[in-house]
Amino acid sequence: MSFQFLLCLGTLFLLAGIGAPIAYAILISSLVYLFAAGQDIGLAGKVLMDGLYSSFVLLAVPLFIVAANIMNAGTISDRLLQFCIALVGRFRGGLGHVNIVASLIFSGMSGSAVADAAGIGKIIIEMMTKSGHYTRGYAAAITAASATIGPIIPPSIPMVLYALVSNTSIGYLFLGGIVPGLLMGAVLMGLNIWLSHRRNFALEQAVPLVELPRVTVNAFPALLMPAILLYGIYGGVTTPTEAAAVAAFYALILAGLFYRALSLRKLYEILVESARSSAAVGIVIGGALILNYIVASENIPTLMAAQLVGLDVHPLAFLITVNILLLLLGCVLDATTIILVIIPLFIPTCRELGIDLVHFGVVAVVNCMIGLITPPYGILLFVINAVTRIPLNEIIREIWPFLGVLLAALAALILFPGLVLWLPRAFGYAG
């Protein structure tokens, strides 16, 4: 590790530590690195621009953001929720199940956990607290926990980012997320059953079964979306990036023409809001590209791989260690930063140790999503706190059991790679 690299890291930690935007902290520290190394500091801008300009997969990010915003604005989320209530609302802890099932379906349409929590999550928390059967903290905690499934089941923005840094196929990564996503839904539902019996949550008024067909028809076009997306990608109709555009287009048609819930004014606001979010995510991606360039020119991942291989680490031990490290980092860092900056450090070692990169990617993304609900820095907790005004300490008090079962699911995914790789292999993945 060279002196200029230490200087770069020092600047980065200092600036980011005192609250500068991560992207600008990276940009400035890379300028420091180039200057100290006697290189042209204009190189930073060139690397950044070339990197963004050549990464076609990244175009999925703004499009998925648009799609999620349209779905949240255009009553698509509400209709899905009505359907889920009719389906699973009749059981004990019913609205808890509704919450999880809605997240599972919604995650097949949007690639973002925050969009899930802020859209469908907000509505269901209101329902749960209004029913008087659940505490505010429980409603918020189960919503936060189930929102983590959003980016595991395809489509998924974090997986697009991982595909970018690891050069793995997005198609197989997306497929690899399906079983883990369902597994997470299953363990959360199991916990909800157990807790609602133990705490004796009252039963909801069941929606009569005769209502079910009407509600289903009402939500059917929205329910078709995951199927359209998956068929588009795996039927070879669209690339995963284009699927994002199809999702946004379909959501637009549904909300605008079919449900007539979207005015032009609203659409304009959605576009501005999406542009703003995409730009904020985009600049972090850009920063990560420069930082990865520096890390690569310092040869750090390869050195690390050589060290670890020399130590004769068992692949499983390596995976577990990396995951513990990621969980700890997830308590204080943002998922985008971890995926773009930290994870690339481990990829050469994974290759050397023979760890499958699709398996590693899915596990790492699940890990980072769990990081979204780990206190003290869990973006999902903050988002729910912001949109519902439920105090953070009430949410955090209830989050622990959910965190526990999600960690158990993560452990299962680490120990049994088949859970992740079965579906990609069934579709011809050679790994």
Site for another protein in 380-409 (CB under 8 A): 382-383, 385-387
271 binds another protein (CB under 8 A): yes
Structure tokens of 127?
Answer: 């329902």
40 binds another protein (CB under 8 A): yes
Applying CB under 8 A, the span of 199-207, 236-244, 295-303, 410-418 interacting with another protein comes to 236-244
Q: How far is the CB of 252 from another protein (least distance, A)?
A: 9
Within 8 A by CB and 6+ apart from 111, the residues are 60, 64, 68, 150, 151, 154, 155, 156, 157, 158, 159, 160, 244
The closest of 368, 333, 346, 292 to 52, measured between CA atoms, is: 292
366 binds another protein (CB under 8 A): no
Classified as helix, coil or strand, 111 is coil
Please select the residue that binds another protein; options are 284, 289, 358, 409, rule is CB under 8 A.
284
Are 66 and 248 contacting, i.e. CB atoms less than 8 angstroms apart? Answer: yes
Size of the site for another protein (CB under 8 A): 87
Distance (Å) of CA 349 to CA 60, 94, 314, 355: 28, 45, 11, 8
Q: How far is the CB of 430 from another protein (least distance, A)?
A: 27
Tell me the Cα Rg of the chain.
22
Please select the residue that binds another protein; options are 7, 9, 36, 52, rule is CB under 8 A.
52
Binding mask 4-33 for another protein (x = CB under 8 A): -------x---xxxxxxxxxxx-xx--xx-
Q: Look at the block and give the residue holding tokens 């839904």.
A: 185
262 binds another protein (CB under 8 A): no
Structure letter (DSSP) for residue 377: S
H or E element, residue 366: helix 357-371
Q: Which is nearer to another protein, 24 or 422 (CB)?
A: 24
Structure tokens of 254?
Answer: 């549904």
Q: How far is the CB of 305 from another protein (least distance, A)?
A: 28
Return the sign of the alpha-carbon dihedral for residues 287, 293, 295, 300: positive
> What is the distance, to the nearest Å, from the Cα of residue 425 to the centroid of all Cα atoms in its chain?
23
Within 8 A by CB and 6+ apart from 153, the residues are 104, 107, 108, 177, 178, 181, 182
157 binds another protein (CB under 8 A): yes
Please select the residue that binds another protein; options are 178, 184, 248, 347, rule is CB under 8 A.
248
151 binds another protein (CB under 8 A): yes
257 binds another protein (CB under 8 A): no
H or E element, residue 115: helix 113-116
Distance (Å) of CA 270 to CA 65, 136, 243, 263: 10, 29, 19, 11
Binding mask 54-93 for another protein (x = CB under 8 A): x-x-xx-xxxxxx-xx------------------------
316 binds another protein (CB under 8 A): no
Within 8 A by CB and 6+ apart from 265, the residues are none
Please select the residue that binds another protein; options are 178, 283, 363, 423, rule is CB under 8 A.
283
53 binds another protein (CB under 8 A): yes
Q: Which is nearer to another protein, 68 or 184 (CB)?
A: 68
Binding mask 171-210 for another protein (x = CB under 8 A): ----------------------------------------
| 144 vs 388: CA distance, rounded Å | 12
141 binds another protein (CB under 8 A): no
Please select the residue that binds another protein; options are 278, 292, 323, 367, rule is CB under 8 A.
278
Within 8 A by CB and 6+ apart from 53, the residues are none
246 binds another protein (CB under 8 A): yes
Please select the residue that binds another protein; options are 82, 99, 168, 277, rule is CB under 8 A.
277
